[in-house]
Amino acid sequence: MLQLPHQPLQVAAVPSQRVPARQDEAGPWHAEAVCRRDEAGLFFAPSKEPTAARLAREEAAKRVCARCPVMTECREHALLQPEPYGVWGGLTAAERRVVLARRRRREVELKKAASTGRRIAAAG
């Protein structure tokens, strides 16, 4: 962990408007999220956070995510919204942008392959 021992880890409050509204038969998935219990401030950066503190906070948040029973649902929510800030489902905003870019490239590749397959089938 990169946090210096003489500096307390500063965290920001979780924005209340970011709480997702999706529900399934068992109730809202986010009601089971570990981060809602006691460590929510780890997931969002305070203003002007130094890089070392941000990295330490994000690693701590990811450790919480790793033991969360709804990590997958949280991650998919953040990717579908898309959530622009914070750690969601064990991924930072930058990591989510990479996942989304990969998904977009994969969709383009699949469409191109499907299109090529139709042309070959029509010609045959």
Give per-residue pLDDT as tens, 77-101: 999 998 899 999 999 999 999 999 9
- What pLDDT is stored for residue 120 in this prediction? 63
Position 37 confidence tier, pLDDT thresholds 50, 70, 90: confident
Q: What is the pTM of this model?
A: 0.68
Query: Please, which residues have CB within 8 angstroms of residue 94's CB and are 6 or more apart in sequence?
Result: none
Q: Report residue 31 as tokens.
A: 């009601």
Position 3 confidence tier, pLDDT thresholds 50, 70, 90: very low
Q: Which of 39, 32, 35, 34 is nearest to 9 (CA)?
A: 39
φ, ψ dihedrals at 26, nearest 5° = -85, 0
- Whole-angstrom distance, CA of residue 121 vs CA of residue 103: 27
- Whole-angstrom distance, CA of residue 54 vs CA of residue 50: 6
- Whole-angstrom distance, CA of residue 84 vs CA of residue 80: 11
